[in-house]
């Protein structure tokens, strides 16, 4: 595939987009595992939400 | 399950956990097809291969505006019905919309240099999209820095609704003012002005980016619900320790 005389601009646009999309995916995945870990820690220590207590 | 049941965060989380893997898989497949078709699309007779930047720039621009539209509906839910899930939806959409607007601005700039001979010009379309990006940053600052999350959410919702005025300005800026940016060539009266050999990959890429937006949005909403649970449990723990 020949990208012509402005190949640098095209490659830079695709590289930047790939980087930002990868950063967004990493953000949601890492944030999810961090929140799950913190919830797990709290539950292990016996901390419950008030709504859970009402339900039990 | 009735739609109203999804207003319950626990039921919403169950649905997100079931739907998310399928959405992610569909997004990956659409991107694979879209990128394959985009790389095989012919060069433009004037712009040459730089037209390939359009397959990123145009969907990113649409999603920057879609993100703010989602936030505006969520802001109504926050201010009028005070529904916590509406606030979660607005807060989760803000960084994603900001990222797409950033992609739109930078890819547009990289496309502008070889096409127009300049990276930037203060014309109505470019400036109104830059304003959208700054509004996103303002909303994020309100969400992330407010000491009282409830007050921060309400302030962000007000700013979101005020900022929604910018959406029609972005859309019609190329009609209302003389701009360097080209006029609408896809969503316009009389149909698209783009040849199907370029329009088809563009629409596939737009569908892929849209699915990516909703996949990330649902995942970010799930994270935000969990974050609020952690916060509630910590506050309960602190109250019990004090008692």
ipTM of model: 0.90
What pLDDT is stored for residue B46 in this prediction?
83
Which among B95, B106, B114 has the least Cβ separation from residue A6? Answer: B114
- Digit-by-digit pLDDT tens for chain B (243 residues) are 555 666 788 888 999 999 999 999 999 999 999 999 999 988 888 888 999 999 999 999 999 999 999 999 999 999 998 888 999 999 999 999 999 999 999 999 999 999 999 999 999 999 999 999 999 999 999 999 988 888 889 999 999 999 999 999 999 888 888 887 877 777 666 777 788 889 999 999 999 999 999 999 999 999 999 999 999 899 888 888 887
The tokens of B148 are what? Answer: 């009282």
More confident residue, A53 or B116: B116
Task: Please return the burial class of B229, using the count of CB atoms within 10 Å of its CB with bins 0-12, 13-18 and 19+.
Answer: buried
The tokens of B123 are what? Answer: 């014309």
Give the list of residues 6+ apart from residue A48 with CB closer than 8 angstroms, or none. Answer: B233, B236
Q: Which of B126, B133, B120, B106 is nearest to A15 (CA)?
A: B106
Residue B178 CB coordination number (10 Å): 7
Three-state DSSP string of chain B: CCHHHHHCHHHHHHHHHHHHHHHHHHHHHHHHHHHHHHHHCCCECCCEHHHHHHHHHHHHHHHHHHHHHHHHHHHHHHHCCCCHHHHHHHHHHHHHHHHHHHHHHHHHHHHHHHHHCCCCCCCHHHHHHHHHHHHHHHHHHHHHHCCCHHHHHHHHHHHHHHHCCHHHHHHHHHHHCCCCCCCCCCCCCCCCCCCHHHHHHHHHHHHHHHHHHHHHHHHHHHHHHHHHHHHHHHHHHHHHHHC
What pLDDT is stored for residue A53 in this prediction?
62
CA distance B119 to B114: 8
What pLDDT is stored for residue B84 in this prediction?
83
Does any CB of chain B come closer than 8 Å to the CB of residue A16?
yes
CA distance B82 to B77: 6
Give the list of residues 6+ apart from residue A14 with CB closer than 8 angstroms, or none. Answer: B56
Contact flag A35-B227 (C-beta cutoff 8 Å): yes
What pLDDT is stored for residue B96 in this prediction?
98
Q: Which residues of B touch A (CB under 8 A)?
A: 39, 43, 48-50, 52-53, 56-57, 60, 95-96, 99, 102-103, 106-107, 110-111, 113-114, 212, 216, 219-220, 222-223, 226-227, 229-230, 232-234, 236-237
Contact flag B52-A35 (C-beta cutoff 8 Å): no
The tokens of B93 are what? Answer: 């959409």
How many beta-carbon contacts under 8 Å exist across A and B?
93
With beta carbons under 8 A apart, name residues in chain B contacting A36: 226
What pLDDT is stored for residue B9 in this prediction?
82
pLDDT tens digit string along A8-42?
A: 999 999 999 999 999 999 999 999 999 999 999 99
What pLDDT is stored for residue A49 in this prediction?
72
CA distance B53 to B129: 17
Distance from CA of A25 to the nearest CA of B (A): 7
What pLDDT is stored for residue B55 in this prediction?
96
Contact flag A36-B226 (C-beta cutoff 8 Å): yes
What pLDDT is stored for residue B94 in this prediction?
97
Phi, psi dihedrals of residue B24, rounded to the nearest 5°: -65, -40
More confident residue, B87 or A56: B87
């Amino acid at each position: 595939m020949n990208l012509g005389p402005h190949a640098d601009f095209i490659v830079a646009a695709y590289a930047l987009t790939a980087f930002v999309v990868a950063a967004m995916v990493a953000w949601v995945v890492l944030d999810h595992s961090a929140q799950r870990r913190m919830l797990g820690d709290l539950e292990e220590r016996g901390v419950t939400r008030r709504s859970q207590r009402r339900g039990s | 399950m009735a739609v109203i049941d999804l207003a319950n965060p626990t039921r919403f989380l169950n649905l997100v956990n079931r739907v998310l893997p399928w959405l992610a898989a569909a997004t990956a497949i659409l991107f694979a097809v879209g990128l394959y078709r985009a790389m095989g699309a012919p060069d433009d007779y004037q712009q040459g291969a730089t037209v390939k930047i359009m397959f990123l720039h145009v969907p990113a621009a649409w999603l920057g505006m879609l993100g703010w539209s989602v936030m505006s509906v969520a802001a109504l839910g926050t201010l009028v019905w005070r529904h916590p899930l509406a606030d979660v939806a607005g807060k989760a959409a803000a960084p994603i919309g900001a990222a797409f607007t950033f992609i739109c601005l930078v890819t547009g700039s990289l496309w502008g240099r070889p096409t127009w001979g300049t990276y930037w010009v203060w014309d109505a379309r470019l400036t109104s999209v830059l304003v959208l990006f700054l509004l996103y940053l303002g909303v994020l600052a309100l969400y992330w820095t407010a000491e009282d999350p409830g007050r921060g959410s309400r302030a962000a919702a007000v700013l979101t609704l005020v900022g929604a005025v910018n959406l029609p300005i972005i859309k019609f800026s190329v009609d209302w003012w003389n701009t360097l940016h080209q006029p609408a060539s896809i969503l316009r009266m009389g149909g698209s002005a783009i040849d199907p050999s370029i329009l088809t990959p563009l629409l596939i890429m737009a569908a892929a980016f849209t699915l990516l937006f909703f996949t990330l949005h649902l995942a970010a909403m799930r994270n935000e619900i969990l974050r609020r649970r952690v916060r509630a449990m910590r506050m309960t723990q602190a109250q019990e320790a004090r008692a």
